[in-house]
Amino acid sequence: MIKIPATVEGLPAITRALAEGISVNVTLIFSLERHRQVMEAFITGLEQARENGRDLAAIQSVASFFVSRVDTEVDKRLEQIGTDEAAGLRGRAAIANARLAYQAYEEVFGSERWKALKAAGATPQRPLWASTGVKDPSYADTRYVTELVAPDTVNTMPEATLEATADHGEITGDTVRGDYARARADLNALASVGVDYDDVVRFLEEDGVVKFEKSWEALLDGIAQRLGGR
Protein backbone atom coordinates (compact mmCIF):
# COMPACT_ATOMS: atom_id res chain seq x y z
CA MET A 1 0.00 0.00 0.00
CA ILE A 2 0.98 3.60 -0.50
CA LYS A 3 0.17 6.22 2.12
CA ILE A 4 -1.98 9.23 1.31
CA PRO A 5 -2.89 11.73 4.05
CA ALA A 6 -6.57 12.36 4.67
CA THR A 7 -6.43 16.06 3.97
CA VAL A 8 -8.92 17.85 1.74
CA GLU A 9 -6.24 17.86 -0.96
CA GLY A 10 -5.58 14.16 -0.43
CA LEU A 11 -9.16 13.00 -0.97
CA PRO A 12 -9.18 13.15 -4.78
CA ALA A 13 -5.75 11.49 -4.83
CA ILE A 14 -7.17 8.60 -2.79
CA THR A 15 -9.97 8.11 -5.30
CA ARG A 16 -7.63 8.40 -8.28
CA ALA A 17 -5.14 5.88 -6.88
CA LEU A 18 -7.84 3.33 -6.10
CA ALA A 19 -9.41 3.80 -9.54
CA GLU A 20 -5.99 2.94 -11.00
CA GLY A 21 -5.92 -0.27 -8.96
CA ILE A 22 -3.42 1.01 -6.36
CA SER A 23 -4.02 -0.08 -2.75
CA VAL A 24 -4.00 2.81 -0.28
CA ASN A 25 -3.36 3.35 3.41
CA VAL A 26 -5.24 6.57 4.13
CA THR A 27 -3.43 8.14 7.05
CA LEU A 28 -3.77 11.03 9.50
CA ILE A 29 -7.51 10.70 10.12
CA PHE A 30 -8.59 12.47 13.29
CA SER A 31 -12.17 13.64 12.72
CA LEU A 32 -15.42 11.79 12.19
CA GLU A 33 -16.33 14.04 9.26
CA ARG A 34 -13.01 13.39 7.54
CA HIS A 35 -13.40 9.66 8.10
CA ARG A 36 -16.72 9.72 6.27
CA GLN A 37 -15.11 11.70 3.44
CA VAL A 38 -12.34 9.10 3.25
CA MET A 39 -14.85 6.25 3.00
CA GLU A 40 -16.69 8.17 0.28
CA ALA A 41 -13.40 8.62 -1.60
CA PHE A 42 -12.74 4.89 -1.24
CA ILE A 43 -16.13 3.80 -2.54
CA THR A 44 -15.98 6.28 -5.42
CA GLY A 45 -12.51 5.00 -6.31
CA LEU A 46 -13.70 1.40 -6.38
CA GLU A 47 -16.70 2.35 -8.50
CA GLN A 48 -14.34 3.95 -11.00
CA ALA A 49 -12.03 0.93 -10.84
CA ARG A 50 -14.98 -1.30 -11.67
CA GLU A 51 -15.84 0.92 -14.63
CA ASN A 52 -12.20 0.62 -15.73
CA GLY A 53 -12.49 -3.17 -15.69
CA ARG A 54 -10.10 -3.67 -12.79
CA ASP A 55 -10.19 -6.63 -10.40
CA LEU A 56 -11.71 -5.18 -7.23
CA ALA A 57 -10.54 -8.13 -5.14
CA ALA A 58 -6.95 -7.05 -5.77
CA ILE A 59 -7.48 -3.57 -4.33
CA GLN A 60 -7.08 -3.10 -0.57
CA SER A 61 -7.31 -0.10 1.73
CA VAL A 62 -7.21 0.85 5.38
CA ALA A 63 -8.38 4.07 7.04
CA SER A 64 -5.81 4.97 9.69
CA PHE A 65 -7.72 6.68 12.48
CA PHE A 66 -5.36 8.22 15.04
CA VAL A 67 -6.14 7.64 18.68
CA SER A 68 -3.74 8.69 21.46
CA ARG A 69 -2.91 12.07 19.95
CA VAL A 70 -6.55 13.03 20.46
CA ASP A 71 -6.34 12.38 24.21
CA THR A 72 -3.01 14.19 24.45
CA GLU A 73 -4.41 17.37 22.89
CA VAL A 74 -7.81 17.24 24.60
CA ASP A 75 -6.31 16.50 28.02
CA LYS A 76 -4.01 19.50 27.62
CA ARG A 77 -7.03 21.71 26.95
CA LEU A 78 -8.94 20.23 29.86
CA GLU A 79 -6.05 21.03 32.17
CA GLN A 80 -6.08 24.63 30.92
CA ILE A 81 -9.82 24.87 31.67
CA GLY A 82 -8.96 23.75 35.19
CA THR A 83 -12.36 22.86 36.64
CA ASP A 84 -13.22 19.64 38.46
CA GLU A 85 -15.74 18.84 35.75
CA ALA A 86 -13.06 19.23 33.08
CA ALA A 87 -10.62 17.09 35.04
CA GLY A 88 -13.20 14.31 35.20
CA LEU A 89 -13.27 14.11 31.42
CA ARG A 90 -9.55 13.39 30.94
CA GLY A 91 -8.80 10.32 28.86
CA ARG A 92 -12.27 9.95 27.39
CA ALA A 93 -12.00 11.74 24.05
CA ALA A 94 -9.85 9.38 21.99
CA ILE A 95 -11.70 6.14 22.63
CA ALA A 96 -15.08 7.83 22.20
CA ASN A 97 -13.91 9.34 18.91
CA ALA A 98 -12.64 6.00 17.62
CA ARG A 99 -15.80 4.14 18.61
CA LEU A 100 -17.95 6.64 16.72
CA ALA A 101 -15.64 6.23 13.73
CA TYR A 102 -16.40 2.51 13.82
CA GLN A 103 -20.12 3.28 13.99
CA ALA A 104 -19.71 5.31 10.78
CA TYR A 105 -17.81 2.39 9.23
CA GLU A 106 -20.70 0.06 9.99
CA GLU A 107 -23.18 2.46 8.45
CA VAL A 108 -21.22 3.03 5.24
CA PHE A 109 -20.30 -0.59 4.67
CA GLY A 110 -23.82 -1.74 5.37
CA SER A 111 -25.23 0.43 2.58
CA GLU A 112 -26.72 -0.81 -0.68
CA ARG A 113 -24.07 1.12 -2.57
CA TRP A 114 -21.35 -0.88 -0.85
CA LYS A 115 -23.19 -4.18 -1.27
CA ALA A 116 -23.06 -3.71 -5.04
CA LEU A 117 -19.27 -3.37 -4.89
CA LYS A 118 -18.97 -6.31 -2.51
CA ALA A 119 -20.92 -8.45 -4.99
CA ALA A 120 -18.31 -7.46 -7.58
CA GLY A 121 -15.50 -8.80 -5.35
CA ALA A 122 -14.52 -5.72 -3.33
CA THR A 123 -13.34 -5.87 0.26
CA PRO A 124 -14.11 -3.04 2.71
CA GLN A 125 -11.72 -0.33 3.77
CA ARG A 126 -10.79 -1.58 7.22
CA PRO A 127 -10.53 0.82 10.17
CA LEU A 128 -6.94 0.93 11.41
CA TRP A 129 -6.23 2.25 14.89
CA ALA A 130 -3.03 4.27 14.67
CA SER A 131 -1.10 6.09 17.39
CA THR A 132 -2.04 3.49 19.99
CA GLY A 133 0.92 3.97 22.29
CA VAL A 134 -0.10 5.51 25.63
CA LYS A 135 1.51 8.91 26.19
CA ASP A 136 0.21 9.53 29.73
CA PRO A 137 1.79 7.14 32.28
CA SER A 138 -1.26 7.46 34.53
CA TYR A 139 -3.31 5.53 31.95
CA ALA A 140 -3.25 1.76 31.47
CA ASP A 141 -0.59 0.97 28.88
CA THR A 142 -2.93 -1.23 26.85
CA ARG A 143 -6.05 0.96 26.87
CA TYR A 144 -5.94 1.81 23.16
CA VAL A 145 -5.87 -1.90 22.38
CA THR A 146 -8.27 -3.50 24.85
CA GLU A 147 -10.86 -0.70 24.55
CA LEU A 148 -10.93 -0.80 20.75
CA VAL A 149 -11.55 -4.44 19.90
CA ALA A 150 -14.02 -4.88 17.02
CA PRO A 151 -14.39 -7.06 13.92
CA ASP A 152 -12.27 -6.30 10.85
CA THR A 153 -10.11 -3.67 12.55
CA VAL A 154 -6.32 -3.35 12.48
CA ASN A 155 -4.25 -2.04 15.40
CA THR A 156 -0.74 -0.85 14.61
CA MET A 157 0.91 -0.99 18.01
CA PRO A 158 4.33 0.37 18.92
CA GLU A 159 6.63 -2.39 20.16
CA ALA A 160 6.19 -1.44 23.83
CA THR A 161 2.40 -1.55 23.49
CA LEU A 162 2.56 -4.88 21.68
CA GLU A 163 4.70 -6.37 24.45
CA ALA A 164 2.44 -4.93 27.17
CA THR A 165 -0.63 -6.39 25.49
CA ALA A 166 1.02 -9.79 25.17
CA ASP A 167 2.09 -9.64 28.82
CA HIS A 168 -1.03 -8.40 30.61
CA GLY A 169 -3.60 -7.16 28.13
CA GLU A 170 -7.08 -8.53 28.80
CA ILE A 171 -8.96 -9.06 25.55
CA THR A 172 -12.57 -9.76 26.53
CA GLY A 173 -14.20 -9.51 23.11
CA ASP A 174 -15.87 -6.64 21.29
CA THR A 175 -15.41 -3.41 23.27
CA VAL A 176 -16.63 -0.99 20.58
CA ARG A 177 -20.13 -1.88 19.42
CA GLY A 178 -22.82 -1.20 21.98
CA ASP A 179 -20.98 1.81 23.42
CA TYR A 180 -21.91 4.37 20.78
CA ALA A 181 -24.35 6.28 22.99
CA ARG A 182 -21.78 6.64 25.75
CA ALA A 183 -19.15 7.71 23.21
CA ARG A 184 -21.43 10.43 21.88
CA ALA A 185 -22.21 11.53 25.44
CA ASP A 186 -18.49 11.81 26.19
CA LEU A 187 -17.88 14.09 23.19
CA ASN A 188 -20.93 16.17 24.13
CA ALA A 189 -19.60 16.49 27.68
CA LEU A 190 -16.29 17.78 26.35
CA ALA A 191 -18.11 20.41 24.33
CA SER A 192 -20.10 21.44 27.40
CA VAL A 193 -16.92 22.35 29.31
CA GLY A 194 -15.47 24.31 26.40
CA VAL A 195 -13.39 21.85 24.36
CA ASP A 196 -13.90 22.66 20.67
CA TYR A 197 -13.83 19.31 18.86
CA ASP A 198 -13.51 20.85 15.40
CA ASP A 199 -10.55 22.95 16.50
CA VAL A 200 -8.87 19.94 18.12
CA VAL A 201 -9.06 17.75 15.03
CA ARG A 202 -8.09 20.62 12.72
CA PHE A 203 -4.97 21.29 14.78
CA LEU A 204 -4.05 17.60 14.93
CA GLU A 205 -4.40 17.19 11.16
CA GLU A 206 -2.25 20.24 10.42
CA ASP A 207 0.34 19.22 13.01
CA GLY A 208 0.39 15.67 11.67
CA VAL A 209 1.05 16.85 8.13
CA VAL A 210 3.96 18.98 9.34
CA LYS A 211 5.46 16.01 11.23
CA PHE A 212 5.08 13.72 8.21
CA GLU A 213 6.68 16.33 5.97
CA LYS A 214 9.66 16.66 8.30
CA SER A 215 10.09 12.87 8.34
CA TRP A 216 9.96 12.78 4.53
CA GLU A 217 12.53 15.56 4.23
CA ALA A 218 14.80 13.77 6.70
CA LEU A 219 14.52 10.59 4.63
CA LEU A 220 15.40 12.43 1.42
CA ASP A 221 18.34 14.14 3.13
CA GLY A 222 19.61 10.79 4.38
CA ILE A 223 19.38 9.23 0.92
CA ALA A 224 21.13 12.23 -0.64
CA GLN A 225 23.95 11.97 1.85
CA ARG A 226 24.38 8.25 1.21
CA LEU A 227 24.40 8.78 -2.54
CA GLY A 228 26.81 11.68 -2.22
CA GLY A 229 29.20 9.54 -0.22
CA ARG A 230 29.60 6.92 -2.92
Q: Which residues are catalytic?
A: 3
The number of beta carbons lying within 10 Å of the beta carbon of residue 84 is 6
Nearest to 127 by CA among 202, 11, 35, 56: 35
Are 31 and 101 a contacting pair, CB within 8 Å?
Answer: no
Residues in contact with 179: Cβ distance below 8 Å, sequence separation at least 6, in sequence order: 99
Are 46 and 122 a contacting pair, CB within 8 Å?
Answer: yes
SS3 21: coil
Are 31 and 70 a contacting pair, CB within 8 Å?
Answer: no
DSSP one-letter string for 26-57:
EEEE--HHHHHHHHHHHHHHHHHHHHTT--GG
Q: Give the DSSP H/E element, type plus range, for residue 126.
A: strand 126-130
